[in-house]
Amino acid sequence: MGLKIKWNDDRVRGATTAILLIGRDRLHRGKKDELIQRSLTDFREDPEGYKANKATWPDARELGPLTNPHHVAYYKNLLTAVDALLQKMAENKRQSNSLLELDNYLVASLRNVR
């Protein structure tokens, strides 16, 4: 039997939180290109480094170090999109068969955030 990652699994919430936190950090450093994909890649490649950084970063709902108005607007839109996606996943009882499938779904669902 294969791995099932349900909509209410901690790995879903963990991945979306990583997108927000790592994405916000990347935005602060001016790295907006392929933000969702690269944030997930950073998260999967160095989970311990992410955990160490997470302890020092402000909460995902806060704008943190963002000062550029375009980045602030993008981040607010990303927060809204993540909330809507999590709601949609819960309503549809979305499942993934692997972390790669989950990551691909998150990237496809969030890549058009502006």
pLDDT tens digits, one per residue of 50-75: 999 999 999 999 999 999 999 999 99
Sign of the Cα pseudo-torsion (113, 85, 81, 54, in order):
negative
CA-angle at 37, arms to 31 and 43, nearest 5°: 90
The pLDDT assigned to 3 comes to 77
CA distance 76 to 2: 36
Half-sphere CA count of 30, side-chain side, radius 13 A: 0
CA distance 98 to 35: 21
pTM attached to this predicted model: 0.94
CA distance 15 to 11: 6
pLDDT tens digits, one per residue of 19-40: 999 999 999 999 999 999 999 9
